Amino acid sequence: MNEFSVREAAVLLGVSDDTVRRWADNGRLRIGKSTAGRQVIAGTDLVPLLTELAAESPLGSTFPTARASARNRFTGIVTAVTRDGVMAQVELQAGPFRIVSLMSREAADELGLEPGMLASASAKATVVTIEIPESPS
């Protein structure tokens, strides 16, 4: 899921659909077309704007993507994935929150983590996990 509808982008950015469209009209954000002809925004195009908005806003929000018992969940866009031989560092921008998770490279590869993807981080004590939403059936 590396493309988002105008509505999904608005939720992730914490603004209205109209604001997303206005930003597109002003050149602040690029809206493209999906293969089905629907308006979509690439996740990688959201990364700079999410980072900019995070610096401006003291508030955050979450939007649940999967069922889990974790209470401390942050949903946002993957902004960076750095892999080496054994480990991977994954950065996630969730509203004004920048979350960094260290995991095995194998786990990052199995999840297919790349910048621009929707993902959730859940925190429990000193452990942070990253998960991706289930594909609709």
Fold of 3-56: Multidrug-efflux Transporter Regulator; Chain: A; Domain 2 (1.10.1660)
Query: How confident is the model at residue 60, as a pLDDT?
Result: 44
Residue pLDDT tens, the chain, 137 long: 589 999 999 988 888 899 999 999 999 999 999 989 999 999 999 988 888 887 665 544 444 445 555 567 788 999 999 999 999 999 999 888 899 999 999 999 999 999 999 998 987 767 777 888 887 65
Query: How confident is the model at residue 122, as a pLDDT?
Result: 85
Other beta carbons within 10 angstroms of residue 132's beta carbon come to 16
Architecture in CATH of 72-131: Beta Barrel (2.40)
Query: How confident is the model at residue 62, as a pLDDT?
Result: 45
